[in-house]
Amino acid sequence: MRHDSRLSRMLHVLIHMDRHDGSATSEVIARMLNTNPVVVRRTMAGLREQGYVHSVKGHGGGWTLSRPLEQISLLDIHRALGSPEVFAIGLAIDHPTCLVEQSVNAALQDAFAEAEAILISRFGNVTIADVARDFDDRFQRSTEKPGPGSCH
């Protein structure tokens, strides 16, 4: 696969869970995301550990939100997923003895650090509720009768 899509998937599913009464099973979520129930459990495990969702075993069980979307930022989810590497480009080696390579590393790291700081700051300032609100706008524009609906 080309890149890590777990953040995208988790935001997607959390909004659906918010707009859906009761709990959702890994099976149902997997169909939403066009993937496998095991992948769902694996990915949501981090969110559960951080207290953003709750899982219940057995009949009638499944996944539920543990707190309102207003209280969860994109950064929270990014971190719950283990703060995966942001960049696909990186240094050849981390601590080179070559002074030339040290300068190259410094130049690149500066640039990466600046870009990452922007991204992380942005993630921290956007809640999932903000994204859900944007969905409401799109939904309203796409239908005559606005309301809390979804595409699944």
**Residues engaged in binding a copy of itself (CB under 8 A):** 2-5, 7-9, 11-12, 15-16, 19, 32-34, 74, 84-93, 97-108, 110-112, 114-116, 118-119, 122-123, 126, 130-132, 134-135, 138-139, 142, 150-152
Q: Which does 57 bind (CB under 5 to 8 A by kind): a copy of itself, DNA, none?
A: DNA
Q: How many CA atoms lie within 13 A of 123 on its CB side?
A: 18
CA distances (Å), origin 72, targets 10, 126, 143: 12, 9, 28
Tell me if 26 sits within 8 A of 41, measured CB to CB.
Answer: yes
* Locus of tokens 């990915």: 43
b/e map 102-131, b = 16+ CB within 10 Å: eeebeeeeeeeeeeeeeebeebeeebbbee
Q: Which does 41 bind (CB under 5 to 8 A by kind): DNA, a copy of itself, none?
A: DNA
CB of 115 to a copy of itself, least distance (A): 4
User: Please, what is the minimum distance in Å from the beta carbon of residue 126 to DNA?
Assistant: 20
Rounded Cα distance between 141 and 134, Å, is: 11
Residues that bind DNA (CB under 7 A): 1-6, 9, 25-27, 34-39, 41-45, 48, 55-63, 84-85, 88
Q: Which does 102 bind (CB under 5 to 8 A by kind): a copy of itself, DNA, none?
A: a copy of itself
- Distance between CA atoms of residues 66 and 89, nearest Å: 36
Q: With CB cut-offs between 5 and 8 Å by kind, which of DNA, a copy of itself, none does residue 71 bind? A: none
